Amino acid sequence: MKKIRLFTPGPCMVPEEALLEMARPFEHHRTAWFKDVIKDCTAKLQKVFHTANEVLILTGSGTAAAEGAIVGCCPPGSKMLTVEGGKFGERWGQICEQFGIPVTRHKVDWGTAVDPGVIADHLKKDPAITAVMVVHSETSTATACDLAAIGKITNAAGKLLLADCITSAGALPLKPDEWGVDIVITGSQKALMLPPGLGFVSVSPRAWQTIENNKKQTAFYVNLNKARKSAKDSDTPFTPAHLLVRGLKVTLDMLLAEGMENVWKRVAGLAAATRAAGDAIGMTTYSKRPSDSVTALNVPAGVSEKDFRKQLRDRYGIHLAGGQDQIEGKVVRMSHMGFVDSVDTIGAISAIEQTLHRMGHSFTLGAGVAAATKVFAERA
Amino acid sequence: MKKIRLFTPGPCMVPEEALLEMARPFEHHRTAWFKDVIKDCTAKLQKVFHTANEVLILTGSGTAAAEGAIVGCCPPGSKMLTVEGGKFGERWGQICEQFGIPVTRHKVDWGTAVDPGVIADHLKKDPAITAVMVVHSETSTATACDLAAIGKITNAAGKLLLADCITSAGALPLKPDEWGVDIVITGSQKALMLPPGLGFVSVSPRAWQTIENNKKQTAFYVNLNKARKSAKDSDTPFTPAHLLVRGLKVTLDMLLAEGMENVWKRVAGLAAATRAAGDAIGMTTYSKRPSDSVTALNVPAGVSEKDFRKQLRDRYGIHLAGGQDQIEGKVVRMSHMGFVDSVDTIGAISAIEQTLHRMGHSFTLGAGVAAATKVFAERA
């Protein structure tokens, strides 16, 4: 018997209902039917993201959506401040450089979140900075920053705030309008419980002023002005991966039926249980400011991370992600996003315990599932 | 009873086997399993495209793939010649302008193909031109050009040849290596019988020399150097729409089992039958050099194109495309690509006849299906 359980921080588990919806008779995207799907999904994405801002649907990964946002928000004369504490933060700095956008790339230690005061200092020191891009939940280090506090600072300074919410939107509390986040970026294969292939960008009225006047932008396929023009008629400028949008309608309905506050609570509970289990079995949490959407656990000394993950995959169908770059081989990352609940998570923790035990790691067998069970019981 | 029959020139009909394959248990893309899928699909795409050149799989529409190819092939100092006889040709000129690439935009009348000699003249007159981009099958006008003849000219002149093969690859005879086509661009939702969401680019060794040395390119998400680097390990630089690649494996197997020569023959037969039927019922072919992958038929005087297509959709589930821009309201376009055969096509022709009859158009009822049947019988 083989069951696949994706605990990777993207793609995450996808409900069968969404997969089956996408297998239904195949229709055309330039139809009244599909316009209704787009209209419906757009309104529901606003609810999921807690924003009144326009939300655009792009065909591509989260990186495509981020490229569109960065290039659009940085007309000639702009300067970006990126905050980089992991693979994804670094990517946004690279995009700026690739497109010749002046950028200050502020590095923070992996596994730590930026002190919002540091952003304030940068803005004070360098008034040329026009926009700030941060990663709300840095997937590579499983670390979340204080986006609300950062929003206060960028707003007070009159700067645009772009947030990579790829592993936060739909998983962590997110209130862009209240917090002053101008751009929210995410992808389909994380908390939205879909296969990869769609990117999403919400844009504040203030950000639109910059993007609209940015006639020189080197973007065509990911051009947000084009996307906006089409979206006004519930359409897309280029052929969309509309099968995925069809699936999205199903998963958005599921998220909203649960209620976003409840989704956030569920996700936070899974994360708290996982961290407690980790502590109980000698797999401490890597991040100093852990995100609740994904947990990075330190792999105990003497245990090969590669073998550990392979055994989990081969014996239990459980897929965890490893670490990248400077933490390769040192951590495993487990997602709390997607179609996943406490039953799945307890099962994964038990499998982790059994595997560690087989690999000779010394700990109290059963302590992990006991600790997680306690967390779930207390939170229920 | 409602059956949907997509005769639109993209998306085209998708085999149930591909839809069901995509509904199977959902897996991760950074796995040995998916590397095998990519490796297999890449080798099969080379067979479908008749090329030994590397083929890259991008997540996005055909436009995303075209943007990657154009930007990659045009480092500073380049100049592009685009040939524009319809919506898509025009788009490639727009991309050049958006990215600040010097471009000569050669216009030809809609519904006609470029005289290859005109391209030779341009290249002689303006040695600054380094690359030529043509549309093999212009979907908006259902017109095909003589790509082989153009390839001879660009090769003799030592210029790169980029071909939009979005509605030709997998449908019309295409021999890029023999003809000297450096770049073949296509998308998933045409002859490859899949839903939209993937773009494909094949790149000749000569084109790679230009792309590799193009360090200044303003491309990140659609950067072909990045895509190539990952493809060497059967991987992608950014999260791919891997569900669609999974479906692609199924449709490529189907195309290759039929044999590309047979696919080309089938498609050409459907086109010939459709044109013959059109002639017999007073719907002449719009294009002076019709493509075999899609036929544009002139709508008879007195018949509202909009109503005509609506009735076909509502009564028979048959979706045709209308005309765009200067031929809006004047033609309907019918695809011969995708999971479509003579039985489907005869059925559509009959529905077209019944609808025309109901709308008061005067012609010999049954002449269309008779003419088409004759073509099929003669070609079988």
Q: Looking at the complex, report in whole angstroms how far the Cα of residue A365 sits from the nearest Cα belonging to chain B.
A: 29
- DSSP-H helix ranges across chain A: 16-22, 32-49, 62-73, 87-98, 116-125, 147-157, 176-179, 205-212, 224-231, 242-258, 260-280, 305-316, 342-358, 367-379
Q: Looking at the complex, report in whole angstroms how far the Cα of residue B18 sits from the nearest Cα belonging to chain A.
A: 9
**Of the candidates A20, A223, A241, which has its C-beta nearest B195's C-beta?**
A241
Give the pLDDT confidence score for residue A48 in this predicted structure: 98
Based on the fold, state whether residues A267 and A355 are members of the same structural domain.
Answer: yes
The residues, any chain, with a CB within 8 Å of residue B132's CB and separated by 6 or more, are: B80, B81, B82, B83, B119, B123, B150, B154, B159, B160, B161, B162
- How far is Cα A66 from Cα B353, in angstroms, rounded to an integer? 49
Contact residues, chain B, for A339 at CB < 8 Å: none
The band of A217, judged by pLDDT with boundaries at 50, 70 and 90, is confident
Which H or E element spans position A183?
Answer: strand A183-187
**Of the candidates B4, B25, B28, which has its C-beta nearest A319's C-beta?**
B28
Q: Looking at the complex, report in whole angstroms how far the Cα of residue B63 sits from the nearest Cα belonging to chain A.
A: 7
Say whether A366 sits in a helix, a strand or coil: coil
Say whether A122 sits in a helix, a strand or coil: helix
**Closest to A198 in 3D by CA, of A11, A65, A342:** A65
Say whether A264 sits in a helix, a strand or coil: helix
Residues paired with residue A318 on neighbouring β-strands, in sequence order: A5
Residues paired with residue B54 on neighbouring β-strands, in sequence order: B203
Based on the fold, state whether residues B265 and B250 are members of the same structural domain.
Answer: no
Give the pLDDT confidence score for residue B32 in this predicted structure: 95
Based on the fold, state whether residues A315 and A171 are members of the same structural domain.
Answer: no
Report the 10 Å Cβ neighbour count for B333: 22
**Of the candidates B22, B26, B189, which has its C-beta nearest A239's C-beta?**
B189
Report the 10 Å Cβ neighbour count for B362: 11
Q: Looking at the complex, report in whole angstroms how far the Cα of residue A190 sits from the nearest Cα belonging to chain B.
A: 11
What's the one-letter identity of residue B205? P
Based on the fold, state whether residues A65 and A163 are members of the same structural domain.
Answer: yes
- Cα dihedral B259, B261, B266, B268, rounded to 10, equals 160
Q: Do residue A242 and residue B195 have CB atoms under 8 angstroms apart? A: yes
Contact residues, chain B, for A32 at CB < 8 Å: none
In terms of CA atoms, which chain A residue is nearest residue B19? A23
The residues, any chain, with a CB within 8 Å of residue B177's CB and separated by 6 or more, are: B50, B51, B52, B53, B204
Please give the ipTM for the structure prediction: 0.94
The residues, any chain, with a CB within 8 Å of residue B120's CB and separated by 6 or more, are: B153, B157
From A223, A257, A291, give the residue that closes a domain.
Answer: A257
Q: Looking at the complex, report in whole angstroms how far the Cα of residue A346 sits from the nearest Cα belonging to chain B.
A: 21
From A209, A231, A257, give the residue that closes a domain.
Answer: A257
Say whether A59 sits in a helix, a strand or coil: strand
Q: Looking at the complex, report in whole angstroms how far the Cα of residue A156 sits from the nearest Cα belonging to chain B.
A: 32
Based on the fold, state whether residues B253 and B281 are members of the same structural domain.
Answer: no
The tens digit of pLDDT for each residue in B218-244 reads: 899 999 999 999 999 999 999 999 999
The tens digit of pLDDT for each residue in A289-336 reads: 999 999 999 999 999 999 999 999 999 999 999 999 999 999 999 999
Based on the fold, state whether residues A40 and A101 are members of the same structural domain.
Answer: yes
Cα–Cα separations (whole angstroms), residue A246 to B168, B186, B256: 28, 23, 30
Q: Residue B344 gets which letter from DSSP?
A: H
Cα–Cα separations (whole angstroms), residue A326 to A77, A139, B16: 35, 14, 45
**Closest to A49 in 3D by CA, of A143, A209, A185:** A185
Q: Do residue A221 and residue B64 have CB atoms under 8 angstroms apart? A: yes
Q: Do residue B23 and residue A20 have CB atoms under 8 angstroms apart? A: yes
Q: Among B28, B82, B96, B313, which would you mutate to test the A interface (most chain A Cβ atoms within 10 Å of its Cβ)?
A: B28
Based on the fold, state whether residues B43 and B56 are members of the same structural domain.
Answer: yes
Q: Do residue A95 and residue B11 have CB atoms under 8 angstroms apart? A: no
Long-range contacts from B208-213, C-beta under 8 angstroms, 24+ separation:
B208/B54, B210/B72, B210/B73, B210/B75, B210/B78, B210/B130, B210/B160, B211/B72, B211/B73, B213/B75
- Per 3-state DSSP, what percentage of chain A is helix, strand, and coil (rounded to 5)? 45, 15, 40
Say whether A309 sits in a helix, a strand or coil: helix
As a whole number, mean pLDDT of residues B258-273 equals: 98
Q: What is the mean pLDDT of chain A?
A: 97
Portion of chain B with pLDDT greater than 90, in percent = 98
Instruction: Answer whether residue B43 shows pLDDT above 90.
Output: yes
- How far is Cα A193 from Cα A12, in angstroms, rounded to an integer? 6
In terms of CA atoms, which chain A residue is nearest residue B244? A197
The residues, any chain, with a CB within 8 Å of residue A1's CB and separated by 6 or more, are: none
In terms of CA atoms, which chain B residue is nearest residue A214? B98
**Of the candidates A4, A29, A196, which has its C-beta nearest B240's C-beta?**
A196
Q: How many CB pairs under 8 A join A and B?
A: 159
Q: Do residue A196 and residue B29 have CB atoms under 8 angstroms apart? A: yes
From A257, A285, A319, give the residue that closes a domain.
Answer: A257
**Of the candidates B6, B19, B28, which has its C-beta nearest A6's C-beta?**
B28
- CATH number for the domain including A205? 3.40.640.10
In terms of CA atoms, which chain B residue is nearest residue A215? B98
The band of A185, judged by pLDDT with boundaries at 50, 70 and 90, is very high
- How far is Cα B380 from Cα B378, in angstroms, rounded to an integer? 6
The band of B380, judged by pLDDT with boundaries at 50, 70 and 90, is confident
Instruction: Answer whether residue A2 shows pLDDT above 90.
Output: no
Based on the fold, state whether residues B109 and B209 are members of the same structural domain.
Answer: yes
The tens digit of pLDDT for each residue in B292-341 reads: 999 999 999 999 999 999 999 999 999 999 999 999 999 999 999 999 99
Based on the fold, state whether residues A136 and A79 are members of the same structural domain.
Answer: yes
Based on the fold, state whether residues B78 and B110 are members of the same structural domain.
Answer: yes
The band of B135, judged by pLDDT with boundaries at 50, 70 and 90, is very high
The band of A77, judged by pLDDT with boundaries at 50, 70 and 90, is very high
What's the sign of the alpha-carbon dihedral B326, B328, B332, B335? positive
The band of B216, judged by pLDDT with boundaries at 50, 70 and 90, is confident
Residues spanned by the domain of A345:
5-9+259-379
- DSSP-H helix ranges across chain B: 16-22, 32-49, 62-73, 87-98, 116-125, 147-157, 176-179, 205-212, 224-231, 242-258, 260-280, 305-316, 342-358, 367-379
Contact residues, chain A, for B61 at CB < 8 Å: 59, 221, 238-240
Contact residues, chain A, for B11 at CB < 8 Å: 26, 28-29, 239, 242
Determine phi and psi for A26, rounding to 5 degrees: -85, 125
Instruction: Answer whether residue B349 shows pLDDT above 90.
Output: yes
The band of A1, judged by pLDDT with boundaries at 50, 70 and 90, is confident
Q: Do residue B6 and residue A20 have CB atoms under 8 angstroms apart? A: no
End-to-end CA distance of chain A: 32
The residues, any chain, with a CB within 8 Å of residue B378's CB and separated by 6 or more, are: none
Based on the fold, state whether residues B360 and B370 are members of the same structural domain.
Answer: yes
Based on the fold, state whether residues B304 and B240 are members of the same structural domain.
Answer: no
pTM metric for this prediction: 0.96
Contact residues, chain A, for B19 at CB < 8 Å: 22-24, 26
Of A105 and B380, the one with more pLDDT: A105
As a whole number, mean pLDDT of residues A226-232 equals: 97
Residues paired with residue A162 on neighbouring β-strands, in sequence order: A133, A183
In terms of CA atoms, which chain A residue is nearest residue B217? A98
Domain count, chain B: 2
- CATH number for the domain including A288? 3.90.1150.10
